[in-house]
Structure 1
Amino acid sequence: MQFPAWFSTITAGVLLGTLLSIFSVSLTSLIFVGPLATELPRGIAMALVTVSISSLSITFFSKNRGIIAGLQDSPLVVMATSISAITATLTTPDTAMPTVLTLIALTTFLNGLILILLGRFKLGILVRYLPYPVIGGFMAGTGIMLLLGGIGTMVDHNLSAGNLVRLFAGNELKVWLPGVLFGLILFIGTRQIRHSLALPGLLLTEGIIFYLLLRYSDISVQNAADSGLLLGDVNLAAGWPFINPTHFFSARWDIIQGQLGNIGAVLIITPISLLLNLSGIEMSERKDMDLNHELQAAGKTNMLSALAGGMIGFHSLGTTSLGRDMTVSRTRVLGIIVGIMPLLILFFGRSLLFFVPKAILGGLLIFQGIVFLYNWLIKKWSSLPLADYGMITIIGLAIMATNFMTGIVLGFVVMMFTFVISYSRTDIFYRKLSGAELTSNVLRSSRERKQLVRLGWHTHVLELHGFIFFGTANAILNELQSRLRASLPLRYLIIDFRRVTGVDSSAAFCFTRILYLADSLHFTVILSSLSPQLKQQMLHNGIRPNEKSLNFASDLDRALSWCEDALLESDSGPQENLALPLQLLAKGFKREQIRLLKSYLQKSTLDSKELLVRQGESSDSVYFVESGQISIYLQSGNQHPVRLQTICVGTMIGEVGYCLNVPRTATIVADTDTVVYRLTKDSMQAIQKEEPLLAESIKDLMLRVIAERLVTANRQLLASSR
């Protein structure tokens, strides 16, 4: 039978509103216990107001339909530890309540403000960068505290290490053991029965069982209430308004100041819990949510709740999922009905609350605690590394032994310590090569290339990557010392920073030690690809270029080129420029061919930085470089030109565009005063017609130049893949 959409919406709203109200009453009993037990009616009323405001506000503030909100367990558990500390000092309700109510209102209001600011400045995503074990440890700690709080609710006193033994006394055991059994039944039942009505049905069944046991034990309802087995008579109107200005003046602010750590923990935990819930809702609904908008919606909700005397509330994952399963369509009416139900209970449900068993309220808390522990301790055992699982366990136990803030701080400290150790083990070297294996983009003569194969082993190249800090910087020094023990003496050390994201001050000290070695062992250090920030940091730490041991290079290619020039000069002295005829003669041209070719060439002299060819121009000529040096640059959009190659004397340029008859593929600029000879397309056509043998020699030269550049490119590619 298919019910109308409105019928399913109303039914789900009434059921979910009632369920949220019962759950909120159980959470409130975490706070109003022990010395504050007589104030439980006020706490119940505050919880019902919180559920109503949360559900109604989120219904209208959220961009998503069908979202249900209510009082949340995680921040309330932390708040309960603060209030327990307050009641340990202020032992009577009359002295404690102003401070307790002020603490609740202040924490709720600040929490709303923080959520609004996180959403307004789009910082919600930052919470997702928190270490997973810290979040897991907090969740496990919440589960432990919910378990203890559930038992404390039933025995009417806060649990501590000193009074745990009392739980096994005959009278107290009878009070809390049924609640533990009820919690286990809820946990097992909801896992076995995958239905939206499983939890409400189990709660109703447990209520029936409870009253059957009372009847079997021949205990009247009134006697059960007098014995503390039922909530009993709760005057929900007592204490309204919940908080007023006199509470602020009567509060012990010195005691509240002592709870700043726990208040801070709530302000950290609430965004984490909210974003975890939102992530779960995204997965359940299979659509993305505007997290920053939802943070602001939750912030406004909490500020309204604080002003009305309520507590912290926001989007509920479990209730929202139940609402989706129970309704035909997604509508805001569902949230409105859920928000109205707590108000109906507040004003008309006093007689009904009288019959609610404390064992069921405690069982609900124990059920929630078991769910937390199952999800974050039992299920994670097989899916997490042992170190992360151990961290979750340690944080959870630390929270139980001390408080939430101490546990979270401990988690962060240990996580930072383990991160430093783990990151220190990562390899900060992207590549480690010699100058014989990795050469610059300078196109050199075959004699010079052979020299560099022999001399390149005197150059050591270290390409770094990642963040360099005290834990990883020492690896650079160890690598250098290993290289210094090699048989070939080190003359140049290139350290490239193109892939480095940052360097801390202790790492900068490591580079200072490297310079001390360079001074004493007579090798030169070249730091290449330094960003402006890194360069400024090096200069600030006294690492400055000098003629003896340190140079800076704009990129790795220029650093390699500088080292190659220095090695070649030290090996055979400065290279003399040969005239073009002698260069062509060395390339296999005959003297008569050279004499004929010169008659077709046009000589040009370029100043340093003068443009020879512009990318995109028509390719109507090739050039022979007689003296000087030129570089080829590739321009891509508005980006800075990339140097592809540097060419010295004795070679040809512009052959690619000429042979393919396409526009110039790159820009060519003179690095120094340069002399070139130009061979136009018209002249080449004339040579082909008049001197075919010379034309063949020119084509052979073009093929050799293209082949040499292909070999160089392959060698660079091979080195890059290492």
Structure 2
Amino acid sequence: MTTPDRIPAGRAMRAASARVSRTIMGGCVATMMIVLDLIVYSQLIFSGPLAESRTAGVAAMLSAYVLGGLVFAVLKRDVVVSLSFFGAAAIVQAAIAARVAEQLHAAGVTDPDAVGQIVLLACGAATLLTGLVFVALGTLRASLVMQLLPYPILTGFLAGVGLLLLRSGVQIGAHIDDAVASVLGLFDPATPSLHDPGTLGRIALTLGIGVCAFYLPRRVPHWSTFPAIVIASFALVHLGVSMQGLDTAAAQAAGWLIDPLPPGPLLRAPAIASLSGFDPALLLPVLPKIATEILVAVIIQILYVVSVELDLRREFGIDRLFVASGFTNVLGSLFGSPVMGFDRTSTLYLHNIGGGQWLGRWLTLAVTAALLLFGASALGLLPRPLAGGALIAIALGHLFNLSRAHRTLLPWEVAVAACVCAATALFGATMGFLTGILMAMLIFAVQYAQIPTIRRAISGAERRSSIIRECASNLLFQTGS
């Protein structure tokens, strides 16, 4: 009598255990991707003269992520979503940080701590404005306003950002200052340092990881494909380092691993605490870049939400997501964090692997909070080619969309997209976006000029009058003329 009762109970227990296991797996994969993004974008923004401020940048990003995750948990309780930093916006924020650092060095401010704190405040100002725009768009239910931007302009601009990310990915992965100069220097015998086998190996490995991270998940659409690439890349680099007899410190000095993070907690006072020492005039030269970052963040957020809705066949409520992302960025701006919001890839992993259970989201928050509270020195084991390859995979995604444009766009529209892409890659995201806006106005003017002034001519044969009048001859006869 008890056997039939135990069988359903056992099946239910196994089914519940399987669901929990899938949720934990989904949370682990999403956490892996989010932590990788955090390290990659911190390397992107705090590079060159700002490298000594990278620890403060990582601390700011971790603090903002934990608070932002709590905001999403409160404001978006109807569906499980994940948030992350926007790569296309990070490339603009890197330009903002570099410009502010140049101004400070020109003014004689060279202390790394002071420079880093002021740069965090400038980045926080850009993130604050972005968050306020997000809140306004979501509150006014105008989140889809950027869909008015012509598709060729959007495709070309994102492809240009992709080229900038490609360049930055090679620089981060190979630990070189300028990817273009280094590639050109390979053909110059007068630059022997660029022919170092280690540098060439890092460049090749970075490109290889980026291509695999872009191509294989599309070729083998399984949740384990991308984590397998990350784990294999991690193991390959560490195996090579071990075969060379290098310890962790030597591998970091040689450029195979990212720069070390200090041991201990990463809790820092919010950057807003030093606002009294900030000169608002520093923001004037970067206002066009801040405007570009806001527009880019809005575009990316729309693309992410719409694509996830199509993939999962469910509505996420884009206006409410914009409000949640806006308040997330408002809080993140207090620490000087880059722009973040609803993330496409990690959200898809949470739903496809774990069924969108709450445990996956809280697992991600728990890991980031642990890194913040107990230290993130273990992240110093991350290979540089893997970090650079992650940026290259994002870049190839944007470029791939441009390569497919000829299937749906007219030849002149493809030419417009290519021009915007070239302007973005050569002159920066701000000039590229301004070029796109000007070309969008030109497209509108040309298309509007093709509309005839008189759309339709109507004669009396088509539209008869409701008043019956007598013939002119009868009128003349009646008047006696």
Shorter chain as denominator, the TM-score bin is: 0.7 to 0.9
Letter in 2 for 1:152: Q
* 2:82 equivalent to 1:68: yes
**Does residue 80 of the first structure (1) align with residue 94 of the second (2)?**
yes
Equivalent-residue separation in structure 1 for 2:368 and 2:430 (angstroms): 32
- Say if 1:64 and 1:76 are closer, same or farther in 2 by CA, change over 3 A: farther
**How big is each residue's C-alpha offset from its partner over 1:333-357, in whole Å with a ceiling of 9 and x where there is no partner?**
3222222211223334534212111
SS at match of 2:25: helix
Corresponding position of 1:360? 386
Cα distance between partner residues in 2 of 1:51 and 1:201: 25
Q: What is the rounded CA distance, in whole Å, between the counterparts of 1:210 and 1:242 in structure 2?
A: 36
Aligned counterparts, 1:367-516, within 5 A: 367-374=393-400, 376-435=401-460, 438-443=463-468, 448=471
Which amino acid letter does the alignment assign opposite residue 141 of structure 2? K
Cα gap change, 1:219/1:157 in structure 2, threshold over 3 Å: closer, same or farther?
Answer: closer
Note closer, same or farther for the CA distance 1:252–1:157 as it changes in structure 2 (3 Å cut).
farther
Displacement of 1:35 after TM fit? 1.0
- Give the secondary-structure state (helix, strand or coil) at the position aligned to 2:341: strand
Residue 123 of structure 2: aligned partner: 104
Distance 1:75 1:135, change over 3 A: same
Letter of the 1:241 partner, please give it.
Answer: A
Partner of 1:137: 156
Contact map agreement 1:56 1:336 (CA 8 A) in 2:
no
Residues 201-242 of structure 1: CA deviation (Å, up to 9, x unaligned): 110011111122223444443321221211243116468225
The alignment status of 1:340 with 2:366, answered yes or no, reads: yes
Deviation at 1:186, TM superposition (A): 1.5
**1:165 maps to what in 2?**
184
| Cα displacement (A) at 1:244 | 4.2
Please give the secondary structure, in 1, of the residue aligned with 2:456.
strand
**Where does residue 498 of structure 1 map in the other structure?**
none
Q: Identify the match of residue 5 of structure 1 among 19, 23, 27.
A: 19
Report deviation, 1:255.
3.2
2:269 corresponding residue in structure 1? 241
Contact 2:256 2:384 in 1 (8 A): yes
After TM superposition, the score normalised by the length of structure 2 is 0.86
Match of 1:126 in 2: 145
Structure number with the higher helix fraction is 2
Equivalent-residue separation in structure 2 for 1:434 and 1:275 (angstroms): 48
The yes-or-no answer on 1:20 pairing with 2:34 is yes
Partners of 1:39 and 1:217 in 2: CA distance:
30
Alignment partner, residue 686 of structure 1: none
Greater Cα shift, 128-137 or 199-208? 128-137
Contact kept, 8 Å, 2:85 with 2:338, in 1: the verdict is yes
Q: Which has the higher contact order (CA 8 A, sep 6+)?
A: 2
Task: Among all aligned residue pairs of Structure 1 and Structure 2, give the percentage whose two residues are the same amino acid.
Answer: 20
Distance in 2 of aligned mates of 1:228 and 1:160:
15
Tell whether the 8 Å contact from 2:66 to 2:369 is kept in structure 1 after alignment: yes
- Report the equivalent of 1:304: 331
Structure-1 separation of matches of 2:285 and 2:239: 47
Q: Is the 2:174–2:385 Cα contact (8 Å) retained in structure 1?
A: no
CA gap of 1:136–1:203, structure 2 versus 1, over 3 A, is: same
Distance in 2 (alpha carbons) for counterparts of 1:340 and 1:354: 20
What is the number of equivalent residue pairs in this alignment? 452
Report SS of the residue matched to 1:354. helix
Residues 104 and 167 of structure 1, relative CA distance in 2, 3 Å threshold: farther
2:258 is aligned to 231
The aligned counterpart of 1:714 is none
1:285 aligned to 2:320?
A: no
Structure 1 residues 105 and 574: alpha-carbon distance in aligned structure 2, compared to 1, 3 A threshold: farther
User: Where does residue 277 of structure 2 map in the other structure?
Assistant: 250
Q: Which one of the candidate residues 48, 51, 54 is aligned to 2:62?
A: 48
Q: Following TM superposition, by how much is the alpha carbon of 1:162 offset from its aligned partner in structure 2, in angstroms? A: 6.3
Write out per-residue CA displacement over residues 232-267 of structure 1, whole angstroms, 9 at most, x where no aligned residue: 431164682251433x34345433210000011112
SS at match of 1:241: coil
- The answer as to whether partners of 1:146 and 1:365 remain within 8 angstroms in 2 is yes
Give yes or no for contact 1:52–1:70 (8 Å, CA) kept in 2. no
Q: In the alignment, is the contact (CA less than 8 A) between 2:121 and 2:336 conserved in 1? A: no
For 2:173, which of 149, 154, 157 is the aligned residue? Answer: 154
CA distance in 1 between partners of 2:137 and 2:223 (Å): 34
How many angstroms does 1:370 deviate by? 1.0
Amino acid of the structure 2 residue aligned with 1:170: H
- For 1:394 and 1:383, the matched residues in 2 are separated by 17
Q: 1:332 to 1:575 in 2, by over 3 A?
A: farther
Do structure 1's residue 191 and structure 2's residue 218 form an aligned pair? yes
Contact kept, 8 Å, 1:99 with 1:253, in 2: the verdict is: no
**Amino acid paired to 1:179:** T
Instruction: Name whichever structure is richer in strand by fraction.
Output: 1
In the TM superposition, residue 289 of structure 1 has moved relative to its aligned partner by 3.4
Deviation at 1:405, TM superposition (A): 2.3
- Amino acid aligned to 2:301: L
Residue 26 of structure 1 deviates from its aligned partner by 0.7
Q: Does structure 1 conserve the Cα–Cα contact (< 8 Å) formed by 2:79 and 2:316?
A: no
1:14 CA drift (Å): 2.8
Partner SS state of residue 404, structure 2: helix
Change (3 A) 1:398 1:158: farther
Specify the alignment match of 2:345 in structure 1.
318
1:204–1:311 CA distance, 2 compared to 1 (3 A): same
1:155 positional shift: 4.8
Q: Kindly state the Cα deviation for residue 106 of structure 1 after the two structures are TM-superposed.
A: 0.8
Distance 1:264 1:240, change over 3 A: same
In the alignment, which residue of structure 2 is the partner of 1:683?
none
- Which residue number in structure 2 is paired with residue 562 of structure 1? none
**AA paired with 1:103?**
A
Task: Name the CA distance, whole Å, in 1 between partners of 2:218 and 2:38.
Answer: 22
User: 1:82, CA displacement in angstroms?
Assistant: 1.7
Q: How far apart, in 1, do the equivalents of 2:446 and 2:32 lie?
A: 51
Give, in whole Å, the separation in 1 of the partners of 2:444 and 2:477.
53
Q: Does 1:205 align with 2:224?
A: no
- State the alpha-carbon separation in 2 of the partners of residues 205 and 410 from structure 1: 41
Tell me the CA shift for residue 9 of structure 1.
1.8
CA contact 1:99–1:256 (8 Å) conserved in 2 = no
1:70 partner SS: strand
Deviates more, 1:283-292 or 1:412-421: 283-292
SS in 2 for 1:4: helix
- Residue number in structure 2 paired with 1:259: 286
Partner secondary structure for residue 337 of structure 1: helix
Q: Tell me the CA shift for residue 164 of structure 1.
A: 5.9
- Give 1:194 shift: 0.9
Is the CA contact 1:30–1:149 (under 8 Å) kept in the aligned structure 2?
yes
How many Å separate the matches in 1 of 2:354 and 2:379? Answer: 28
The whole-number CA distance in structure 1 between the counterparts of 2:245 and 2:139 is 60
Measured in 1, the distance between the counterparts of 2:387 and 2:179 equals 20
2: CA distance, partners of 1:113 / 1:193: 40
Structure 1 counterpart of 2:136:
117
Give the drift of 1:74.
1.8
Deviation per CA, 1:695-717, whole angstroms, max 9, x where unpaired? xxxxxxxxxxxxxxxxxxxxxxx
The answer as to whether partners of 2:57 and 2:120 remain within 8 angstroms in 1 is no
Task: Identify if the C-alpha distance between structure 1 residues 251 and 152 changes in structure 2 by more than 3 Å, giving closer, same or farther.
Answer: farther
| Residues 187, 291 of structure 1: alpha-carbon distance in 2 compared, 3 angstrom cutoff | closer
| Structure 2 gap segments, 5+ residues each | 1-13, 188-193
Query: What letter is aligned with 2:239?
Result: L
Residue pair 2:157, 2:433 contacting (<8 A) in 1 also: yes
Inter-partner Cα distance in structure 1 for 2:273 and 2:65: 23
Which letter does structure 2 place at the counterpart of 1:322?
Answer: Y
Question: Could you tell me the TM-score, scaled by structure 1's length?
Answer: 0.58
Question: Alpha carbons of 1:309 and 1:430: their partners in 2 closer, same or farther (altered >3 Å)?
Answer: closer
